[in-house]
Amino acid sequence: MNRGAAPQKRALVASPTPPAQAAAEALADAYDWVAPEEADLIVALGGDGFMLQTLHSILERRKPPIPVFGMNLGTVGFLMNEWRHFDLDGRLARTKPFKVTALSMTATTIDGAIHTLPAINEVSMLRETRQTANLEVTVNDRVVLPELACDGILVATPAGSTAYNLSAQGPILPLGSALLALTPISPFRPRRWRGAILPDKARIVVRVLDPGKRPVSAVADQREVRDVASVEIAIDRSRELTLLFDPEHALDDRITMEQFVA
C-alpha cells in the first residue's frame, strides 16, 4: 500500500544578529528540525547577506542543492519572505519556486595561483589602490574593449542585478531573461561607455593591463581574491539553486517594479 512520500526534513539556520537569534528561538520548539546536512529544505532567518552565505554553503556541501525558504530579519530582505512565526507548514506547502543559476569566476593571480569561486549576485573587479584600473575586456574570444580605465567592472546575474549592479547604474534584468549585465564602475575612458547586456551563454574575460603598478582584486559575491592578472566569468549551469517564496512575494514582479522606484 502506498503511504505517500516521506515527510520533508527541514533545517533551521539563523544570522548571528539578535533579531534573527530571537526568531530562531521562537521556531526551534514549534517545529521539528534536523541538521543542515540531513535536510531536504533549509529555512534561513536573516537578511540578504545571510541568504547569500546560506546559498554558498549549500553550493559547497550539497549536490544537488536543496531549496531555501528565507524570512527577513535583516534590512532590505529582497531575497527573503516576511517574517512570521506561525503557519510555517502552510506557507511552505504554498511556496512558489524560483531558479537561480550561479556564475563561475576563475581568477588567476599575478603569481599564477588559480581560484575558482561561484557567485550568485555578481562578480566584481575593483582597483586596490588610489590609481585607476586599466582593463582589457574580451567576450567570447573577441576583444570588445582594448583598454577600460575605471574603478572596476562587474558581471551581474538577473537575481543580482538590483544589488551592486544597480548602484553602479547598471540595468535591471528580469528573472528568466537569460541575460547578464556587464557594468563599469566609475569609467574614465571610454567615458561614454555605460556597459552592455549580454546573453548568459557569453564567456567574459577581463585582463588587468598593468597588475603590478595598478593592482586589482576580484570578488565573487563576498569572497575576494587580491592581485589578479585575469578573470574569466561564465554561467555555471551545474550550479542551479532554488529559492522558495510566498505566492504574494512575487520576486520577479519586485525586480520589475524596481525600475519604477524614484
Mind listing the pLDDT tens digit for each residue in 226-256?
999 999 999 999 888 999 999 887 677 777 7
Cell of 18: 539578535
Instruction: Supply the CATH classification number for the domain 102-238.
Output: 2.60.200.30
- Domain locations in the chain as residue ranges: 10-94, 102-238
Mark 197-218 as b/e (b = at least 16 C-beta within 10 Å): ebebebebbbbbbebeebbbbb
Q: What is the pLDDT of residues 176-202, one digit of tens each?
A: 889 999 999 999 999 889 999 999 999
Confirm or deny that 122 is annotated as ligand binding: yes
Q: Is 221 a catalytic residue?
A: no
Task: State yes or no: 177 annotated in a binding site.
Answer: no
| Residue 144: other Cβ atoms inside 10 A | 15
Q: Which of 29, 32, 40, 48 does the annotation list as catalytic?
A: 48
CATH topology (fold) of 10-94: Rossmann fold (3.40.50)
24-81: pLDDT as tens digits = 999 999 999 999 999 999 999 999 999 999 999 999 887 788 999 999 999 888 889 9
